[in-house]
């Protein structure tokens, strides 16, 4: 076993060393993760793809908010979209909570005087709070609304006159139940039932009242029963993707066709059919007087033939699709091949992509559209047309590794490899702390020929921050840079936790790079024509930023963009403003950060590939392929949840945005114990300081120390005495065992002794204390919590032994064993052990027992784990074993610990496979959840994207820790 451990450590060191030969091979991860990690720059700036295809939707922040970030590859003049949504999101003039934003409004539940909807109404006595307003069960709710009626007024100022002159402006709203909406006193909506994200274009009469740059939106909403919600905002329309009208529908232009109302017989849909006896008409066809109807149709059936000629090159250079409308039914064919066969329910403006099998018949630039239309009575209508848009790249694969996510696309005759790399190697603090990610891309010819290839990235950076943001494009020292952030930043003023309140987000690249800032449609059209952005005209529209780069075909090494985030400061730590570790002395510029990242790019990519391969190999060896894929998928989620700093005492600090909580760090600890225990020390340093400075005088650790942006004491409230005393003692003992060095414990011995003393008095029967699993029910005399307390005492004994304090070691180990005997008597329930000592016929996972095994404490008899694990196996459900007998919820982190309780590979897989299946089938599409229903996926997950996925590495830790 010792030889194996040494071999494993040698592999890990080789993977992390700085002289690794470059190889881009991976061990493919086949897990369809709920969310694919893309850019991981800061705990508040983590971006994911929550779809299986990167082109299906825009990437999202952890909280679900969209960031429009689109990518195109231009191959010989043809554009292929490989990243981002087809449509541009609307520009928020005044955002909605529906879009994961908040807004401020005045409100009252008392019926106001007449004229309450007018801009000049006196609302000085109304309350002010954040919207949306609603019941707590609605995701959008920021302020609770409990009355039957609510009246809300929202004032919007400084509306950009450019938008009013050049864009369509819309009012969007959600309501539950009834709502009346007014803008500047003019009523726009009177809805009698629930509506979600509805939209209405503002008429000229309303726009004319906004020329002074001001708007007053007033709403009266009534909740008749159940849930309540009122949410609204103002938006400007963005143009869609570049679309070419090849043969337009009638709403754009009338079109010529042949038609008949008599059954034409066989072959009527083919090019060769003789339609000289048919009548000539103009589309659309339908009930006389109907909108866009040019030829009346009042029979039961109608046959139409429309011939279309176009540039044959469009078949290759555009994604061709058909738009059609019908009432009541339609069969639509192209060149004799069926494209559409509808039901009998009328539809308007349906879009359908033309498949390759039909495109093959259109290569000569000719298409015969043949439609068989049916009307069962009442209004009739038939209309259809041909359109071309920018092509969508064909995604061939996606592969999530520990530090990288790889995509491969087909773009005509060229293959594109796209890689997002967060080079967070835990043994390299400089690299780990650097808030830099690489976006790498490599083009390879599939036909062996030369091709003219360029890549284009476009972003709406204003979605990254809140109002008051500015974006600039600039060139410096060979770099083309985009910088975006809020203007007039005031340190620590904005305490909101769901997005960066300060700091700057950057994109930058070198070599054959051009950039522009302006209208998205114009920039795309220019790039499609020219292949760069050199001569792109200046625009009044500054919302979108774009970077383009010429690509080398079949290059050995990829080209790349660098994404970075300069947070300026990390925390106000007990009155001391801390800078990020990479700029701890405050003497580095963002340009220096970029230069440093560029210098080590090739070396870093080689190290990341090597680390990713070794992690997969090692995890597969100890736990199987599914376990390895879970670990690889979990790595970046865990590591990117932290920031690193040093305080004025040169003490390393590593913390999440809420410093703690300790139960989160406890769950995450196996990952850091595997790769760098110093980082776990850096997590715990603030807690020791808080107790040893006298700021915290209780005989157990604090739950947390506050968070973003102020670290100055416990913020969440509610002590967890046994829980956190056990957590600290176990983690410190695990560090000592992993490093074979208890000097960290020695430095904090007095504090550890105080906590161990508390556990000696309270460790067996924890009475009514809370524990980390209280979300699933709070149970007095909790057996799993008691086991943690006992193992905390045994951990203290281990540390005492390592420090040569033999008398203390013997005393505390003997006490732990006596307490374990008492525990077994009180918890025994026949073929298993109880959830709580006073609850017969109950059960619960005793995952804390894993440390009895890992630390070689041998406090609990082997029969305890044997009985428990055998019993858990009888409780396995679709997605695993519930946390205990009172719930259908499981915790993913504790599930892996329970799976590892025995040295039984079969049992381990029995527990891992349901968890794997849950992640693989998860319909909620959020970053990896840690709390979920094991029976089905009907219940929305509530905890995701947290660092507790570090718990998955417990099985790997077995091979590292002796």
pLDDT digits (tens, 9 = 90+) for 802-838: 999 999 999 999 999 999 999 999 999 999 999 999 9
Distance CA 637, CA 868 (A): 31
HEC secondary structure over 648-695:
CCCCEEEECCEEECHHHHHHHHHHHHHHCHHHHHHHHHHHHHHHHCCC
Last residue of a domain, one of 362, 389, 416: 389
422 plus 381 within the same structural domain: no
Residue 10 has pLDDT above 50, yes or no: no
Q: What is the per-residue pLDDT for 895?
A: 97
Note the maximum CA span of the chain.
110
Question: Where would I find the beta strands (DSSP E) of 587-716?
Answer: 643-646, 652-655, 658-660, 704-707, 710-711
Q: Mapping DSSP to helix (H, G, I), strand (E, B) and coil, where does residue 45 land?
A: strand
Q: Which of 202-216, 299-313, 493-507 has the lowest mean pLDDT?
A: 493-507
Distance CA 161, CA 164 (A): 5
In a domain, 914, yes or no: yes
Question: Where would I find the beta strands (DSSP E) of 243-401?
Answer: 243-247, 255-260, 279-283, 285-286, 295-296, 301-309, 319-327, 329-334, 337-341, 347-353, 366-374, 381-389, 391-392, 394-400
Q: What is the per-residue pLDDT for 90?
A: 81
Distance CA 795, CA 805 (A): 13
Q: Look up the CATH number of the domain holding residue 849.
A: 1.50.10.10
Residue 463 has pLDDT above 80, yes or no: no
- The 3-state DSSP composition of the chain as helix, strand, coil percent (nearest 5) reads 30, 30, 40
Domain enclosing residue 179, as ranges: 91-236
**CA of 645: how far to CAs of 248, 586, 686, in Å?**
60, 12, 12
423 plus 528 within the same structural domain: yes
* Cβ pair 676, 427 in contact under 8 A: yes
In a domain, 463, yes or no: yes
The count of structural domains within the chain is: 4
* Cβ pair 15, 606 in contact under 8 A: no
* Cβ pair 643, 636 in contact under 8 A: no
* Structure tokens given for 356: 């390759």
804 plus 838 within the same structural domain: yes
Identify which of 139, 138, 155, 154 has the alpha carbon closest to the alpha carbon of residue 223.
Answer: 138
pLDDT digits (tens, 9 = 90+) for 253-272: 999 999 999 999 999 999 99
Q: Which of 159-168, 600-609, 876-885 has the lowest mean pLDDT?
A: 159-168
Q: Which of 21-30, 235-244, 292-301, 372-381 has the lowest mean pLDDT?
A: 235-244
Q: Which of 2-11, 376-385, 913-922 has the lowest mean pLDDT?
A: 2-11
Distance CA 684, CA 653 (A): 8
519 plus 584 within the same structural domain: yes
Residue 863 has pLDDT above 70, yes or no: yes
Q: Look up the CATH number of the domain holding residue 211.
A: 2.60.120.260
Residue 732 has pLDDT above 60, yes or no: yes
Last residue of a domain, one of 367, 389, 411: 389
567 plus 438 within the same structural domain: yes
Residue 841: left (phi > 0), alpha (psi -120 to 50), or beta?
Answer: left
* Cβ pair 891, 899 in contact under 8 A: no
Q: What is the per-residue pLDDT for 183?
A: 97
> Residue range 135-164: average pLDDT?
92
Q: Which residues of 71-89 are buried (b: 16+ CB within 10 A; e: fewer)?
A: bbbbbeebbbbbbbbbebe
* Cβ pair 346, 286 in contact under 8 A: no
Residues 6+ positions from 936 with CB-CB distance below 8 Å: 878
Q: What is the per-residue pLDDT for 137?
A: 87
Neighbour count for residue 162 (Cβ, 10 Å): 13
In a domain, 623, yes or no: no
895 plus 869 within the same structural domain: yes
Last residue of a domain, one of 358, 389, 420: 389
* Structure tokens given for 436: 């830099």
Output the pTM of the full model: 0.86
259 plus 329 within the same structural domain: yes
Provide φ and ψ at 892, rounded to 5°.
-60, -40
708 plus 808 within the same structural domain: yes
Distance CA 429, CA 407 (A): 28
Q: What is the per-residue pLDDT for 772?
A: 87
Q: Mapping DSSP to helix (H, G, I), strand (E, B) and coil, where does residue 789 land?
A: helix
* Cβ pair 851, 900 in contact under 8 A: no
In a domain, 542, yes or no: yes
Distance CA 699, CA 761 (A): 11
Question: Where would I find the beta strands (DSSP E) of 113-214?
Answer: 127-131, 133-134, 143-144, 149-156, 169-176, 178-183, 186-191, 195-201
Residue 468 pLDDT class (50, 70, 90 cuts): low
339 plus 378 within the same structural domain: yes
Instruction: Tell me the CB-side half-sphere exposure of residue 3, using CA atoms within 13 A.
Output: 0
Instruction: Tell me the CB-side half-sphere exposure of residue 655, using CA atoms within 13 A.
Output: 31
Q: Mapping DSSP to helix (H, G, I), strand (E, B) and coil, where does residue 51 land?
A: coil
Q: Mapping DSSP to helix (H, G, I), strand (E, B) and coil, where does residue 234 land?
A: strand
Provide φ and ψ at 333, rounded to 5°.
-125, 150
In a domain, 615, yes or no: no
Q: Look up the CATH number of the domain holding residue 562.
A: 2.70.98
Instruction: Specify the higher pLDDT residue, 834 or 251.
Output: 834
Residues 6+ positions from 14 with CB-CB distance below 8 Å: 20, 610, 614
Q: What is the per-residue pLDDT for 221?
A: 96
* Structure tokens given for 712: 């100055």
Identify which of 307, 282, 293, 308 has the alpha carbon closest to the alpha carbon of residue 375.
Answer: 293
* Cβ pair 706, 713 in contact under 8 A: yes
Residue 495 has pLDDT above 60, yes or no: no
297 plus 435 within the same structural domain: no
Pairing outcome for strands 143-144 and 133-134: parallel
The DSSP secondary structure of 506-529, one letter per residue, reads EEEE-SSEEEEEE-HHHHHHHHHH
Instruction: Specify the higher pLDDT residue, 540 or 440.
Output: 440
Q: What is the per-residue pLDDT for 55?
A: 96
Q: Which residues of 922-959 are buried (b: 16+ CB within 10 A; e: fewer)?
A: beebbbbbbbbbbeeeeeebeebbbbbbbbbbbbbbbb
Neighbour count for residue 20 (Cβ, 10 Å): 18
Rg (CA), the chain: 32
Q: What is the per-residue pLDDT for 191?
A: 86
Distance CA 460, CA 481 (A): 15
Mean model confidence pLDDT for the chain: 92
Residue 239 has pLDDT above 70, yes or no: no
In a domain, 40, yes or no: yes
In a domain, 952, yes or no: yes
Residue 693 pLDDT class (50, 70, 90 cuts): very high
442 plus 340 within the same structural domain: no
Instruction: Tell me the CB-side half-sphere exposure of residue 888, using CA atoms within 13 A.
Output: 12
* Structure tokens given for 670: 């196996």
Q: Mapping DSSP to helix (H, G, I), strand (E, B) and coil, where does residue 628 land?
A: helix
In a domain, 630, yes or no: no
Q: What is the per-residue pLDDT for 242?
A: 66
The label of the residue with tokens 């595997």 reads 674
Distance CA 489, CA 469 (A): 10
Please give the share of the chain, as a percent, with pLDDT higher than 90. Answer: 76
* Cβ pair 486, 469 in contact under 8 A: yes
326 plus 436 within the same structural domain: no
């Amino acid at each position: 076993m010792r030889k194996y451990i040494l071999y494993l450590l040698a592999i890990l060191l080789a993977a992390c060393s700085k002289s690794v030969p470059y190889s881009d091979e991976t061990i493919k991860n086949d897990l369809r993760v709920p969310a694919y990690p893309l850019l991981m720059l800061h705990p508040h700036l983590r971006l994911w793809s929550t779809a299986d295809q990167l082109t299906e939707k825009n990437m999202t922040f952890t909280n679900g908010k969209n960031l429009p970030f689109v990518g195109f590859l231009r191959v010989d003049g043809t554009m292929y979209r490989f990243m981002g949504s087809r449509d541009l999101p609307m520009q928020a003039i005044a955002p909605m909570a529906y879009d994961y934003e908040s807004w401020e409004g005045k409100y009252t539940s008392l019926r106001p005087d007449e004229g309450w909807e007018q801009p000049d109404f006196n609302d000085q006595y109304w309350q002010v709070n954040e919207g949306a307003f609603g019941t707590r069960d609605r995701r959008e709710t920021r302020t609770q609304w409990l009355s039957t009626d609510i009246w809300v007024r929202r004032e919007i100022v400084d509306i950009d006159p450019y938008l009013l002159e050049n864009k369509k402006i819309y009012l969007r709203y959600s309501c539950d139940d009834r709502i009346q909406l007014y803008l500047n006193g003019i009523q726009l909506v009177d809805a009698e039932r629930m509506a979600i994200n509805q939209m209405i274009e503002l008429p000229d009469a309303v726009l004319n009242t906004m020329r002074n740059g001001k708007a007053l939106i007033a709403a009266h909403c009534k909740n008749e029963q159940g849930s309540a919600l009122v949410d609204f905002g103002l938006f400007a329309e963005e143009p869609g993707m570049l679309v070419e009208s090849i043969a337009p529908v009638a709403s754009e232009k009338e079109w010529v066709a042949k038609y008949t109302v008599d059954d034409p017989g066989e072959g009527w849909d083919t090019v060769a059919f003789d339609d000289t006896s048919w009548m000539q008409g103009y589309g659309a066809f339908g009930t006389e007087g109907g909108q866009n109807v040019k030829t009346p149709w009042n029979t039961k059936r109608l046959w139409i033939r429309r011939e279309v000629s176009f540039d044959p090159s469009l078949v290759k250079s555009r994604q061709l699709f058909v738009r059609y409308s019908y009432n009541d039914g339609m069969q639509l064919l192209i060149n004799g091949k069926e494209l559409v066969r509808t039901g009998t329910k009328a539809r308007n403006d349906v879009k359908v992509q033309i498949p390759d099998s039909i495109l093959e018949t259109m290569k000569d630039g000719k298409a015969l559209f043949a439609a068989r239309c049916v009307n069962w009575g009442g209004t009739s209508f038939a209309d259809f047309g041909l359109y071309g848009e920018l092509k969508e790249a064909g995604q061939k694969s996606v592969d999530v590794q520990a530090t990288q996510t790889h995509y491969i696309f087909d773009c005509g005759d060229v293959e594109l490899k796209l890689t997002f790399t967060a080079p967070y190697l835990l043994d390299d603090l400089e690299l780990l702390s650097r808030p830099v990610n690489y976006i790498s891309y490599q083009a390879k010819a599939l036909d062996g020929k030369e091709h003219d290839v360029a890549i284009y990235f476009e972003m709406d950076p204003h979605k990254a921050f809140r109002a008051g943001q500015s974006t600039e494009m600039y060139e410096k020292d060979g770099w083309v840079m985009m910088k975006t952030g809020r203007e007039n930043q005031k340190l620590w003023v904005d305490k909101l936790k769901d997005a960066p309140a300060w700091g700057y987000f950057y994109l930058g690249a070198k070599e054959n790079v051009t950039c522009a800032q302006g209208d998205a449609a114009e920039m795309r059209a220019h790039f499609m024509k020219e292949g760069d952005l050199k001569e792109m005209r200046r625009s009044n529209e500054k919302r979108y930023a774009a970077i383009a780069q010429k690509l080398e075909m079949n290059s050995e090494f990829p080209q790349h963009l660098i994404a970075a985030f300069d947070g300026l400061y990390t925390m106000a730590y007990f009155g001391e403003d801390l800078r990020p570790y990479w700029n701890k002395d405050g003497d580095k510029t963002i340009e220096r950060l970029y230069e440093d990242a560029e210098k080590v790019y090739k070396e870093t990519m080689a190290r990341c590939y090597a680390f990713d391969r070794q992690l997969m190999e090692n995890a597969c060896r100890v736990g199987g392929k599914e376990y390895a894929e879970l670990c690889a998928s979990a790595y970046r989620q865990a590591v990117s949840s932290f920031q690193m700093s040093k305080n004025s005492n040169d003490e390393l600090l590593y913390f999440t945005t809420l410093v703690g909580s300790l139960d989160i760090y406890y769950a995450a600890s196996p990952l850091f114990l595997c790769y760098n225990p110093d980082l776990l020390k850096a997590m715990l340093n603030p807690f020791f300081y808080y107790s040893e400075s006298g700021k915290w005088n209780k005989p157990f650790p604090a739950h947390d120390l506050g968070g973003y942006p102020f670290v100055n004491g416990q913020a969440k409230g509610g002590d967890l005495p046994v829980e956190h005393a056990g957590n600290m003692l176990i983690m410190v003992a695990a560090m000592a065992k992993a490093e074979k060095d208890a000097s960290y414990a020695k430095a904090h011995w007095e504090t550890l002794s105080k906590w161990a003393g508390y556990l000696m008095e309270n460790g067996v029967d924890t009475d009514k204390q809370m524990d980390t699993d209280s979300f699933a029910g709070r149970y007095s005399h909790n057996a799993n919590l008691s086991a943690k307390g006992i193992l905390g005492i045994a951990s203290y004994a281990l540390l005492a032994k390592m420090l040569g304090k033999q008398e203390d070691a013997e005393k505390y180990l003997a006490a732990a064993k006596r307490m374990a005997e008492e525990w077994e008597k009180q918890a025994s329930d026949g073929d298993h052990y109880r959830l709580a000592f006073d609850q017969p016929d109950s059960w619960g996972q005793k995952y804390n027992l894993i440390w009895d095994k890992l630390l070689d404490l041998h406090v609990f008899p082997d029969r305890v784990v044997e009985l428990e694990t055998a019993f858990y196996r009888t409780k396995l459900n679709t997605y695993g074993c519930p946390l205990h007998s009172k719930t259908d919820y499981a915790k993913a982190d504790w599930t892996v610990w329970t799976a590892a309780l025995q040295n039984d590979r079969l049992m381990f897989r029995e527990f891992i496979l349901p968890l794997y299946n849950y992640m693989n089938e998860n319909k909620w599409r959020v970053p990896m959840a840690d709390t979920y229903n094991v029976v089905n996926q009907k219940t929305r997950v509530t905890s995701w994207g947290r660092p507790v996925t570090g718990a998955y590495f417990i099985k790997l830790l077995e091979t590292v820790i002796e």
